[in-house]
Amino acid sequence: MKEQLNNIKDSAQKELSNIKSIQELEDIRIKFLGKKGELTSVLRGMGALSAEERPVIGQLANEVRAFLENEIENAKMELVRRERSSALEKEVIDVTIPGKRKNLGKRHPLSMVMDEIKNIFIGMGYEIAEGPEIELDYYNFEALNIPQGHPARDTQDTFYINQNMLLRTQTSPVQIRIMEKSQPPIKIICPGRVYRSDAVDATHSPIFHQVEGLVVDKGVTMGDLVGTLEVFAKSIFGENTKIRLRPHHFPFTEPSAEVDVSCWTCGGKGCRVCKNEGWIEILGAGMVHPKVLKICGIDPEVYSGFAFGLGVERTAMGRFNIDDLRHLYENDVRFLKQF
Ligand code: DAH
């Protein structure tokens, strides 16, 4: 029996030295120490021993069990350690390898200027309004006091979906849509895309952007318009900027004006950018025509309002000193990176 026990010890030790997984370890534990295991079956035979032999063999059996338990535990720890270090080896990061540079995108200069404009007017208490780019002739022209055959239509030729539907040529139709469904006080801006069938050159594109503004309330005057535009021009082009209103005609405002800002390059002295005029035109504006108010269900005897329409491309070109509008649409990363 003594020999049997020693054999068990030897063969268990040998098997333990070759194991590769926790599962194999568990198999060995069951094989030697389990209920039907080899050690247990030896112990079962102890009843046949003499009274002198029994304690000797019993002690030896206990020693073998303790030894095996200990060996199994050690083997387990060794396995865990090996697994962990091989995982660490696999996951090792070589911090000396050059990284991959990620090209971060940026906001487009037009979006930047658009956001600046929005922020300036939000700061003055305006809300942002929106309207459709595919517009009815009624909103784009008719309700703005530009009936069929009116010469103002010629300067804003556009793309027609059908006789009544077109790509809007201006953001002004949003004025009508807003006034139709709300009563004063109204104080909104509408930034958006507009279309005209113009050939592309340094200052023209068939798709461009405007920001429309509209304020209607009791007692709104031309003075309010001028003050508002002054705040706007100084915020976007700098504190020293001046504005100038030139009489003009728009069918939906009366009186109307074209508004210039002092040249952002020379400050008004005259240079190449302002074609030696010292001034650059950036928007159209005026007092909302009583006819337009009436069409929208607002009483012109009680309320008055001002409106303006601003070219975003032109503003961006001034803000960033861009000399050709086409740069804004060519998506050349070398250009776009500069802002
Ligand atoms: N919609 C005009 C244009 O595109 C600009 C304009 C002029 C807008 C006068 C206005 C305004 O709101 O009052 O040429």
Protein residue whose Cα sits closest to atom 8 of ligand 1? 309
309-328 confidence digits (pLDDT tens): 999 999 999 889 898 999 99
| Same-domain check for residues 116 and 84 | no
Asked if residue 100 is part of any domain, the answer here is no
Greatest distance between any 2 Cα atoms in the chain: 130
3-state secondary structure of 284: strand
Q: Are residues 277 and 148 both part of a single domain? A: yes
User: What is the rounded distance in angstroms from the CA atom of residue 190 to the CA atom of residue 127?
Assistant: 9
CB atoms within 10 A of CB 170: 24
Residue 96 in any domain: the answer is no
d(CA 253, CA 291): 9
CATH number of the domain that 170 lies in?
A: 3.30.930.10
* Residue 38 and residue 135 share a domain: no
pLDDT tens sequence across 242-289? 999 999 999 999 999 999 999 988 889 998 888 899 999 999 999 999
Residue 85 token pair? 């270090």
Same domain, 39 and 165: no
Contact in structure between 286 and 265 (CB atoms under 8 Å): no
> How far, in Å, is the centroid of ligand 1 from the Cα of 169?
10
Q: Ligand 1, from 174, 308, 310, 312: best to mutate by most atoms within 8 Å of Cβ?
A: 308
Name the domain boundary from 31, 63, 90: 90
- Same domain? For 84 and 116 the reply is no
- Is residue 213, in this structure, part of any structural domain at all? yes
Phi, psi of 249 (to 5 degrees): -125, 120
User: Alpha helix locations (H) across the chain?
Assistant: 2-18, 22-33, 38-44, 53-90, 109-123, 137-140, 173-181, 222-237, 290-295, 312-320, 333-336
Q: How far apart are CA 19 and CA 76, in angstroms?
A: 10
Decide whether any atom of ligand 1 lies within 6 Å of the 208 Cβ.
no
Range of the domain at 298: 109-336
Global pTM value:
0.72
Nearest Cα residue to 252 out of 299, 287, 289: 289
Does ligand 1 come within 6 angstroms of the Cβ of 172?
Answer: yes
Measured from the CA of 213, which atom of ligand 1 is nearest? 12
Do residue 116 and residue 63 come from a single domain? Answer: no
The last residue of a domain, from among 32, 59, 90: 90
**pLDDT above 90: residue 206:** yes
CA dist., res. 237 & res. 84, Å (int): 63
Q: Is residue 19 part of a domain?
A: yes
- What are the C-alpha distances in Å from 155 to residues 61, 151, 166, 196, 337? 109, 7, 15, 9, 35
Domain boundary among 60, 90, 120: 90
Nearest to 144 by CA among 70, 78, 214: 214
Using the Cα atoms of residue 201, residue 205, residue 208 and residue 213 in order, give the sign of their dihedral: positive
Cβ–ligand 1 distance for 170 under 6 Å, the answer yes
Query: Residue 302 C-alpha to ligand 1 middle, in angstroms?
Result: 23
Q: Is 284 in the pocket of ligand 1 (CB under 6 A)?
A: yes
| Alpha-carbon span 4 to 42, nearest angstrom | 8
- Which among 153, 172, 198, 253 is the best mutation to test ligand 1's pocket, defined by most ligand atoms within 8 Å of the CB? 172
The verdict on 131 and 277 lying in the same domain is yes
Ligand 1 center to 324 CA (angstroms): 23
CA-closest candidate to residue 28, choices 99, 97, 76, 90: 76
CA 132 to chain centre: 23
State whether residue 167 is helix, strand or coil: strand
180 and 318 in a common domain: yes
What one-character DSSP code corresponds to residue 105?
Answer: -
State if residue 262 touches ligand 1 by the CB under 6 angstroms criterion: no
Residue 10 in this model has a pLDDT that exceeds 90:
no
pLDDT of residue 196: 96
* Structural domain count, the chain: 2
Alpha helices in 125-245 (DSSP H): 137-140, 173-181, 222-237
Task: Give domain status of residue 99, yes or no.
Answer: no
CA–CA separation, 12 and 35 (whole Å) = 16
**One domain, residues 196 and 56:** no
| pLDDT tens-place string over residues 49-104 | 888 888 888 888 888 888 888 888 888 888 888 888 888 888 888 889 998 888 88
* Smallest CA separation from ligand 1 atom 7, residue: 284
Q: Is residue 78 part of a domain?
A: yes
User: Is the pLDDT confidence value at 193 over 90?
Assistant: yes
Residue 233 Cα to ligand 1 middle (Å): 17
CA 194 to ligand 1 center in whole angstroms: 12
Task: Tell me if 104 is assigned to some domain.
Answer: no
Output the CA–CA distances (angstroms, integers) from residue 140 to 157, 158, 174, in the order listed: 11, 11, 8
User: Quick one: 218 and 80 in the same domain?
Assistant: no
| Domain assignment present for 240 | yes
d(CA 170, CA 110): 17
Q: Is 304 in the pocket of ligand 1 (CB under 6 A)?
A: no
Measured CA to CA, the distance from residue 189 to residue 291 in angstroms comes to: 21
Q: What is the pLDDT of residues 37-64, one digit of tens each?
A: 888 887 788 888 888 888 888 888 888 8
- On whether both 145 and 265 belong to a single domain, the answer is yes
Query: Are residues 36 and 178 both part of a single domain?
Result: no
